[in-house]
Structures are given as structure tokens and as C-alpha cells.
Structure 1
Amino acid sequence: MPYQDVFVLFWNQVKESVQEGSFAKLTMAKTIGKPDLKNIFLRPVYSKNDFKVLLKYRYRSKDTEDKEEELTLDEAYQVLKANLKTHFFSVILFTTKKDIIFKVNKKGAGSITETLPSFTDITQAKSDLE
């Protein structure tokens, strides 16, 4: 199945984890080549009537400062989708119930696997933007 279709299924699990309150973190990993961008992280920012994520760009170079921005889930989806298969081969969703790994192979096929959870608690993001 093309990775774009599988990523939509994966993203539905991200949204479900937010609705359940089990979303702990999301990481884009397995860079393509050796770009300066090392990872993209999403951490939850829960509030009484809203949910946002703190999106953090982490760079390899110590000369490049990490960047953070607070986004809605839909905005974050667009950022992740744009970086998939251009900068990263995998996305890992960490929830308090399970870890879900999305991967793209070299032929452009996507896959989803699940493992036991890495997180038992959710740590809210502390934004430097506030």
C-alpha cells in the first residue's frame, strides 16, 4: 500500500490517542542522508477546551538552534506529511497504551507496527513561546 495511504491510517491512531488522553509524544526519525535536521518531535499541550502540540525541530549542528512552535494537530499533520520521505523514513507515536511505528521503505510502501508502551505517564510540553 502506498505510504501516503498508510500514513493516513497512522494519523487516525494519533488523533484517537489524543481523544483518549493517551498521547505522550511523537518523533520523526531515520533521516534520509545526513541533513542538519536530526529529529522532529511533537509533545502534547493539553488545556481545558483545546489540544495543541509543541513541535520541535532538533538539529545536529550545535551552531543551529532548535526551533519550537505551537500548532494544532491539523497543522502538525501538514508539517509531518511534508517531511515524510523527503527528510525522514519513520514516525513513532508514543502513547501510554502502546507505541505505534510508521515506516516507509525504499520502494515507497508504508507499514505500521505496534509494540509495548515506552511511556506510562504523559509529560506536558513546556513551551519557550509563552
Structure 2
Amino acid sequence: MSYEPIFALFWERVKQSIQDKTFAKLTLAKTIGDTELKNIYVRPVLLENDVFSLSVIARYKTEEIESFHSLDEAYPILVSYMNKPFLTALLFTTENDVNFKLNKKRVGTITEQAPTFKSASDVILEMKEKGI
């Protein structure tokens, strides 16, 4: 069974946390082997004219590359990194931490834990204030 349907459910949780204004950050981590790409960090940003976007920062051994994407554009980018090279995606919200993990057979699971962050990201709080 492919992990992608489970990752799609995880992505729905990401979108819901942004809509509910509880999103803190999203991280792709735990690589397979020693890879050039170490982590991917996703944070919300407000561009000119208060346009919501996601900052996707790919952290390599020697550099970081930042790109900006809409919510819909970010999904295919991030899912393409699952299983090659990342095994986990961690969504941090003010309500709970949601973990997507791939096991050795590449079956995806979603688990929840108590929240790590007590407040949403600064951009999410700003959006809440502006009613975006």
C-alpha cells in the first residue's frame, strides 16, 4: 500500500491548522542514510498585499534554499521528498503535534502528541489580527 493517501490525510491536518490559526511550523526530517539534504522547514509568510504563502526552506549540508509557494503548490513538492530522503513529517500546532512516519515497509502512520508550541507562528497571529 502506498503511503501517499495517508500523507494526503496529514496534509489535510496541515491545511486545517492554518485555517484554524493554530499552525506553528512543519518540518520534514529523519533522512534515509547520509544525504546532502538534511531538513525541510515550512513556515507561513505574508508577502506583499498580505498574500499568504508558505516559505519552504531546504537545509543542505552547506547551504539553505528558500522558496515560496501557495498551500496547493507546496503539497506536491513536499510529498515528493517523502521516502526519498525523508521518513517523517512533523506538524506543530498549538493544539497538538501531528507526526507522519514511514516504517521500514514504507507504510505511513499518523500519531498525535501533546503540543510543543504554546502559540501559533507570528504570521498566523498577524493573519488572525488582520482577519485574513
TM-score range, shorter chain: 0.7 to 0.9
1:17-71: per-residue Cα shift (whole Å, max 9, x none)?
A: 01101111000011011001100000111478642111101112xxx22110111
Q: Could you tell me which runs of 5 or more consecutive residues in structure 2 were left unpaired when the two chains were aligned.
A: 125-132
1:85: which partner in 2? 83
The secondary structure found in structure 1 opposite 2:123 is coil
1:22: which partner in 2? 22
1:115: which partner in 2? 113
2:38: which partner in 1? 38
CA distance in 1, matches of 2:122, 2:74: 19
CA distance in 2, matches of 1:32, 1:124: 32
Between the two proteins, the alignment pairs up a number of residues equal to 122
CA distance in 2, matches of 1:27, 1:71: 15
Q: Could you tell me which runs of 5 or more consecutive residues in structure 1 were left unpaired when the two chains were aligned.
A: 126-130
Between 110-119 and 1-10, the greater mean CA deviation after superposition: 1-10
CA distance in 2, matches of 1:34, 1:124: 33
- Tell me the TM-score normalised to structure 2 length: 0.85
Q: Which one has a larger percent helix, Structure 1 or Structure 2?
A: 2
Shift of 1:8: 0.8
Q: Percent identity?
A: 46
CA distance in 2, matches of 1:92, 1:107: 20
- Tell me the TM-score normalised to structure 1 length: 0.86
1:80-109: per-residue Cα shift (whole Å, max 9, x none)?
A: 111000110000000111100000112121
Structure 1: 4+ residue segments shifted above 3 A: 46-50
The secondary structure found in structure 2 opposite 1:124 is helix
CA distance in 1, matches of 2:108, 2:2: 6
